[in-house]
């Protein structure tokens, strides 16, 4: 059953999450109350974990320059010491967040920790990053990307993923920049500033 020579089933094909994804994933946000006590992924910090507290803000923008108001954004990241929840990560930190964005502006916000460096399979250290997964009406298969920090120049310069990207001119699309008290990470689905997406 487990060897590569045996018959394999195909992965269930993806379909768009559609415009009403929030009914299933963030019902309280929509006003469907009383089914779940709170929406999953509302808080990444549930206790008092060590590390620098940061805020990440951004929007998902379509090919015509409009912010999506019906996207669902999920993030997954290590704690301040580069450890993941479920794999020895800090207590009081889930590492996973989900945001429907603001209903009027589409802006998502995550209150989280600045992640530590996580090793790559070959032993090199990756630069601090947050993994993003984006679904929405019009997106047929969830989009994977990564947010890095523009102020981590040294680590970014040796990151195994960033250094491998052929079109280095596109790397800045993955860099979040300080904007007031928050890091800003806008995701462009299409157009001149199109964000790099990954086939992982």
Partner 1 sequence: MTNGYTARDRGWHPPALTPLYKTSVARSPRFAPIGAATSLSEETGPVFGHDLLGPKDNDLITNFAAPGEMAIGPRIVVQGTVRDEFGRPVPHTLVEVWQANAGGRYRHKKEGYLAPLDPNFGGCGRCITDENGFYEFRTVKPGPYPWPNGPDDWRPAHIHVSVFGHSFAQRLITQMYFEGDPMIWQCPIVGTIPSREAIETLVARLDRAGSIPMDALCYQFDITLRGRRQTMFENRMEGM
CB distance 121 to 106 below 8 Å: no
Return the exposure string of 51-84: e unless at least 16 CB atoms fall within 10 Å of the residue's CB, then b: beebebbbbbbeeeeebbbbbbbbbbbbbbbbbb
Q: Which is nearer to partner 1, 179 or 191 (CB)?
A: 191
Q: Which is nearer to partner 1, 38 or 179 (CB)?
A: 38
Q: How far is the CB of 165 from partner 1 (least distance, A)?
A: 6
Q: How far is the CB of 191 from partner 1 (least distance, A)?
A: 8
Q: Which is nearer to partner 1, 73 or 181 (CB)?
A: 73
Q: How far is the CB of 18 from partner 1 (least distance, A)?
A: 6
Q: Which is nearer to partner 1, 63 or 153 (CB)?
A: 63
Q: Which DSSP letter does residue 140 get?
A: S
What residue has token string 């808080």? 43
Token digits for 112? Answer: 């989280």
Token digits for 9? Answer: 């089933």
Q: How far is the CB of 184 from partner 1 (least distance, A)?
A: 20
Name which of 197, 143, 138 is nearest 167 in CA terms. Answer: 197
């Amino acid at each position: 059953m487990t060897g590569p020579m045996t018959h394999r089933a195909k992965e269930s094909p993806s379909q768009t999450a559609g415009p009403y994804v929030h009914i299933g994933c963030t019902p309280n946000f929509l006003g469907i109350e009383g089914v779940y006590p709170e929406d999953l992924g509302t808080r990444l910090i549930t206790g008092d974990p060590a590390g620098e507290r940061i805020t990440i803000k951004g929007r998902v923008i379509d090919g015509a320059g409009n912010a999506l108001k019906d996207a669902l954004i999920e993030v997954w990241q290590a704690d301040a010491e580069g450890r993941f929840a479920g794999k020895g990560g800090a207590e009081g930190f889930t590492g996973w967040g989900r945001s429907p964005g603001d209903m009027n502006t589409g802006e998502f916000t995550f209150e989280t920790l600045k992640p530590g460096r996580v090793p790559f399979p070959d032993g090199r250290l990756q630069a601090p990053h947050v993994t993003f997964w984006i679904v929405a009406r019009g997106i047929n298969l969830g989009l994977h990307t990564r947010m890095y920090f523009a102020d981590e120049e040294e680590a970014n310069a040796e990151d195994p993923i960033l250094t491998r990207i052929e079109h280095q001119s596109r790397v800045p699309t993955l860099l979040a920049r300080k904007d007031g008290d928050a890091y800003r990470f806008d995701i462009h689905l299409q157009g001149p500033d199109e964000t790099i997406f990954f086939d992982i």
